[in-house]
Amino acid sequence: MGNLNIIISNASEKPLYEQIKEQIKSAILKGDLENGELLPSIRNFSTDLNVSILTVRRVYDELEREGFVSSKAGKGTFVLAGNKDLLEDTKRVLIEEKLIDLVTLSNTLDISIEELHKMLDIVYEEV
């Protein structure tokens, strides 16, 4: 079975449902969760994560809307990861969103592209 270790924190500024959603999404994008794989039932997952059923339901709802999983009453929630190109695209878009954010801030603060590259290397070593 796939690797699915979800770590959530009430201390985080991000809502619980978003933390869970992002981690499942990452697992699918990395390939840890394969096509057709069955995710935990809403009830089991909510007790495992110690969150409300409604929170897990929201996660599954949004993942379904975004095309990552498919839920069927009476059967469960399954991973949809058939199109490899789509997954690569999704990864690229997620990174690009953060890069745009970063470059925008750099511009407003008069930081050069060279400095950015240097700082990127430094941060990459530390993380």
Amino acid at 26: S
Torsion over CA: 98, 101, 104, 106 (sign): negative
Please answer whether residues 8 and 20 qualify as being in contact, where contact means their C-beta atoms are separated by less than 8 angstroms: yes
| Token couple for 65 | 């809307």
Stretch that binds DNA, among 24-32, 55-63, 88-96, 119-127 (CB under 7 A): 55-63
| Token couple for 98 | 């953060």
Q: Which is nearer to DNA, 18 or 32 (CB)?
A: 18
Shortest reach from residue 56's CB to a second copy, in Å:
15
Sole binder of a second copy in the list 6, 29, 38, 64 (CB under 8 A): 29
Interface ranges with DNA (CB under 7 A)? 15-18, 39-44, 50-55, 57-58, 60-61, 64, 71-77
